[in-house]
Amino acid sequence: MSLKLDGKKLSLEIEEKLKKDIEANLNSTKRPPGLAVIRIGEDPASGVYVKNKERACSRVGIKSFIFHLKDTVEQNEVEQLINKLNVDSDIDGMLLQLPIPEKFDEQKLISFINPEKDVDGLNEQNIGKLVKNEPAMRSCTPAGIINLLRSQNITIEGKKIVVIGRSLLVGKPLSLMLLNLNGTVTITHSKTINLNKICKEADILIAAAGKPNLIDSSFVKEGAVIIDVGIHRLTSSDMSKTKLCGDVLLEDVIPKVFAYTPVPGGVGPMTVTMLLVNTIFSWQKQFVLSLTLNDLLP
Ligand code: NAD
């Protein structure tokens, strides 16, 4: 039987530890860790993600500060807000909820974020340190995937790993983290020729293409590990029901693999948990506490 890599369960276990790590130090720090979330516009999915982050923060004892801006604000006003939060001593972490409306220069805004508070790990300084394999804030979805693999003692070193997708958010940082951990990594994307053949060689196959049910069993080697990053909400033909699915046609793939991540309940919860980890890590550094979360930061 294949092993389910249960991200929900692992994230709850990690949250228990995070809660204790905060409680143990509140007497000396006099304030909890603080996370600022900047949301611009009315994208409904972003609304759900921000709510989830807010709830997760309150579960472990992080104070969240939500800044919901209208899409009529100007780029320089958002930059000013980021600059203010950069020096706010109650804020340990900050993120810009993506996507933001197209009129904004997203990369420029991210580059304004103080790298020490960049809990999404997307600022070029943190990406640069990842390239150099130096400690820094790591992006949440890739770091969550690494922790999920490690939690079941799935070896990365020496494995043939194929990553589908080369985005700045997932595919690229994930590939670098796996490379730093001595995996033999192949990055594929929408222009890759013979995707099926390349995927079939993978010991660990990670799908982050954003295409529902792209990967069926014909892409997968017998006994491989399959990680599904995609999240899609599909509506039934009569529009009466919706269902979440990933990039992987799971029912077809599960009988063939050693281990898999479910959707929902796999990578998603780990992404949120890593955001909490990064925020608390930054708070521990701020107050020169012992750094208890290094093991979770690849
Ligand atoms: P993106 O659109 O920025 O990037 C998709 C990548 O996949 C691109 O590099 C593209 O070249 C590649 N691609 C597209 N079609 C392909 C194909 N047919 N064959 C091979 N490669 C192909 O998306 P993203 O931000 O990287 O997110 C990918 C998916 O992961 C989305 O479904 C997103 O919702 C999901 N996601 C989930 C989480 C989570 O926490 N579970 C976090 C981030 C993103």
- Distance, CA of 32 to CA of 276 (rounded, Å): 12
- Residues in contact with ligand 1 by the CB-under-6-Å rule are 141, 164-167, 169-171, 188-190, 192, 195, 208-211, 214, 229-231, 267-268, 271
Does residue 271 have a pLDDT over 90?
Answer: yes
Beta 232-235 vs 204-207: how paired, if at all?
unpaired
pLDDT band at 178 (very low <50, low <70, confident <90, very high): very high
Q: Which CATH class is domain 140-268?
A: alpha beta
User: pLDDT tens for residues 96-139?
Assistant: 999 999 999 999 999 999 999 999 999 999 999 999 999 999 99
User: What's the confidence (pLDDT) of residue 236?
Assistant: 87
Determine which residue's CA is closest to atom 5 belonging to ligand 1: 209
Considering the chain, what is the average pLDDT of its residues?
97
Structure-block tokens of residue 125: 């300084």
For the annotated catalytic residues, the residue numbers are 53, 97, 120
- Distance, CA of 20 to CA of 15 (rounded, Å): 9
CATH 3.10.310.30 fits 30-114, yes or no: no
pLDDT, mean of residues 215-242? 94
Measured in angstroms, how far is the CA atom of residue 230 from the centroid of ligand 1?
6
pLDDT band at 285 (very low <50, low <70, confident <90, very high): very high
pLDDT band at 237 (very low <50, low <70, confident <90, very high): confident
- For the chain, percent of residues with pLDDT exceeding 70: 100
pLDDT band at 10 (very low <50, low <70, confident <90, very high): very high
Which helix (DSSP H) or strand (DSSP E) does residue 3 occupy?
strand 3-4
User: What's the confidence (pLDDT) of residue 254?
Assistant: 98
Q: Domain locations in the chain?
A: 30-114, 140-268
Measured in angstroms, how far is the CA atom of residue 165 from the centroid of ligand 1?
6
**Within this chain, domains 30-114 and 140-268 share the same CATH topology:** yes
Measured in angstroms, how far is the CA atom of residue 87 from the centroid of ligand 1?
33
